[in-house]
A and B are shown apart, each in its own frame.
Chain A
């Protein structure tokens, strides 16, 4: 167990769908406790790359490491690695047939065989942490988008992951709900969670990100701390993109 390994290491990652190369030779490193934000125009391969990190998509070539586990190895225990990698989706993907608490406890109960009482205690604590202690029994359809996304974050946290992936967690939300989700994410970052986030939330980037990765057309163009990338981007493509969104 070498403790100085990065938490996530993406090495020369390539992913193609048929003839389309969605990700080309991407390299990203996320240290323990680091928050890394991936930005870039739509279709630039950010989400695809993120989905490769818990192998919802399989890399065409290259490697991804989570600590000392090589996710891309043939014999890799994908399910165990997925337990350690939480994922939050753009469209929440809560389980509609389960109440908020059930959404959170089902992972620990089924996958980790946690006893019901214990899982529910933990689930309540997590709902409290995301500010939804009063929504224990609410079904997803009874919750607003922002609330659903916070439940989804709690669901991922219930597996006690080493790293959290966020795939555009606020882009399906109405503006007034974005803040409540970002606040939860900020708190997570403050608590030292390692996070890899695909998002264009510049406020969050400035407040919490240690590094920004700019991707365009499947390639990682530039990686830098937010103050450097935003104020002094090296690449012309980065400059052009930032001029559109800032």
Chain B
């Protein structure tokens, strides 16, 4: 999906900056694909309540709390996961053996366990020892899981920077940590932005799993409504459309950001 967003945003930029350029056929097709999906979903979300207020209007007024919760879970999780991921990535390339080992084991273990199982584990299994609120457990599980994936992205990003950069920084008298902060990481951000953007969108979609812990996110609110009213088809159609709009919006946003970084290079 991010790839679709990517080419479409490049097209947008070209159209805006230089009207004389005609998009290539292939890119025009992907641009249309994003447009069809995004504006199609929005159109449906607007039209359905107009055409058939019962039950669509009720569904749509019932869901915003859930959308809010989905955002809260996603944003808090990605922020914490980025911090954990950066530390993990640095740990994975650390010369201190014990730190390196801890980071590597963490990545291996977490990537080997499905997120759904991790959610259950943190809330129910660890809940036997320390009971934490559902939302906290949900965000913790998402952070732990995505921290490992982001850690690998950061590691790869740091290692993608040519060795000469660290050497040049050391040669002018910087310490390794100064060189990391001033020279390596600023370049890493550019490299990792696309995969981090993809992880963000994946996390957004995976956040629907937290509904299993009865966190009242978008999917959970939909389930509640459908269970009460038996409007399964209508409710889940709206839920799916809302996820689609949010996801497409962010994939566009991510690719625009990427674009800007690329242009500044």
Task: Using CB atoms and an 8 Å cutoff, list the residues of chain A in contact with chain B.
Answer: 54, 56, 79-80, 82-83, 85-87, 89, 91, 93-97, 106-107, 110-112, 139, 141, 152, 155-156, 158-159
- B136: A residues at CB distance < 8 A: none
Q: Are A110 and B167 in contact (CB under 8 A)?
A: no
Q: How far is the CA of A97 from the CA of B175 in the complex (A)?
A: 19
Q: Are B265 and A79 in contact (CB under 8 A)?
A: no
Given A106-B182, A141-B265: A159 touches B172 (CB 8 Å cut-off): yes
Return B181 CB to nearest CB of chain A, in Å. Answer: 9
Return B194 CB to nearest CB of chain A, in Å. Answer: 17
In addition to A82-B171, A94-B168, 4 A-B residue pairs with Cβ atoms within 8 Å of each other are: A82-B172, A93-B164, A93-B168, A107-B172
Given A95-B165, A110-B178, A111-B178: A56 touches B171 (CB 8 Å cut-off): yes
- B19: A residues at CB distance < 8 A: none
Cβ of B114 < 8 Å from any Cβ of A? no
Cβ of B226 < 8 Å from any Cβ of A? no
- A83: B residues at CB distance < 8 A: 172-173
Q: Are A111 and B167 in contact (CB under 8 A)?
A: no
Cβ of B174 < 8 Å from any Cβ of A? yes
Q: Are A56 and B165 in contact (CB under 8 A)?
A: no
B130-167: which have CB < 8 Å to A?
Answer: 162, 164-165, 167
Q: Are B168 and A89 in contact (CB under 8 A)?
A: yes
Given A91-B164, A97-B187, A106-B182: A111 touches B172 (CB 8 Å cut-off): yes
Return B260 CB to nearest CB of chain A, in Å. Answer: 14
Q: Are B183 and A95 in contact (CB under 8 A)?
A: yes
Q: Are B170 and A56 in contact (CB under 8 A)?
A: yes
- B167: A residues at CB distance < 8 A: 56, 89, 93
Cβ of B186 < 8 Å from any Cβ of A? yes
Q: How far is the CA of A79 from the CA of B164 in the complex (A)?
A: 17
Task: Using CB atoms and an 8 Å cutoff, list the residues of chain B in contact with chain A.
Answer: 162, 164-165, 167-175, 178, 182-183, 186-187, 190, 265
- B162: A residues at CB distance < 8 A: 93
Q: How far is the CA of A82 from the CA of B164 in the complex (A)?
A: 16
6 closest Cβ pairs, A-B complex: A83-B173, A107-B172, A93-B168, A93-B164, A87-B171, A111-B173
* Residue on A nearest B163 in the bound complex, by CB: A93
Q: Are B171 and A54 in contact (CB under 8 A)?
A: yes
Return B168 CB to nearest CB of chain A, in Å. Answer: 4
- B265: A residues at CB distance < 8 A: 96, 139, 141
Determine the main DSSP class of B at the interface with A. Answer: helix
* Residue on B nearest A103 in the bound complex, by CB: B168
Q: How far is the CA of A62 from the CA of B264 in the complex (A)?
A: 47
Q: Which of B165, B168, B187 gathers most chain A CB within 10 Å?
A: B168
Q: How far is the CA of A139 from the CA of B190 in the complex (A)?
A: 15
Q: How far is the CA of A56 from the CA of B256 in the complex (A)?
A: 40
Contact sample, A vs B, 26 pairs, CB 8 Å cutoff? A56-B167, A79-B173, A80-B173, A82-B171, A82-B173, A85-B171, A89-B164, A89-B168, A89-B171, A93-B164, A95-B183, A96-B187, A97-B186, A97-B187, A106-B172, A106-B182, A106-B183, A107-B174, A111-B172, A111-B174, A111-B178, A112-B173, A152-B168, A158-B172, A159-B172, A159-B173
- A80: B residues at CB distance < 8 A: 173
* Residue on A nearest B187 in the bound complex, by CB: A97
Q: How far is the CA of A106 from the CA of B186 in the complex (A)?
A: 13
* Residue on A nearest B265 in the bound complex, by CB: A141
Q: How far is the CA of A30 from the CA of B178 in the complex (A)?
A: 31
* Residue on A nearest B165 in the bound complex, by CB: A93
Q: How far is the CA of A87 from the CA of B171 in the complex (A)?
A: 6
- B178: A residues at CB distance < 8 A: 110-111
* Residue on A nearest B161 in the bound complex, by CB: A96
- A86: B residues at CB distance < 8 A: 171-172
Q: Are A82 and B170 in contact (CB under 8 A)?
A: yes
* Residue on B nearest A85 in the bound complex, by CB: B171
Q: Which of B170, B186, B190 gathers most chain A CB within 10 Å?
A: B170
Q: How far is the CA of A139 from the CA of B182 in the complex (A)?
A: 16
- A54: B residues at CB distance < 8 A: 171
Q: How far is the CA of A115 from the CA of B99 in the complex (A)?
A: 36
Instruction: For A156, give its contact among B169, B171, B174 (CB under 8 Å).
Output: B171
Given A56-B170, A93-B164, A93-B168: A79 touches B175 (CB 8 Å cut-off): yes
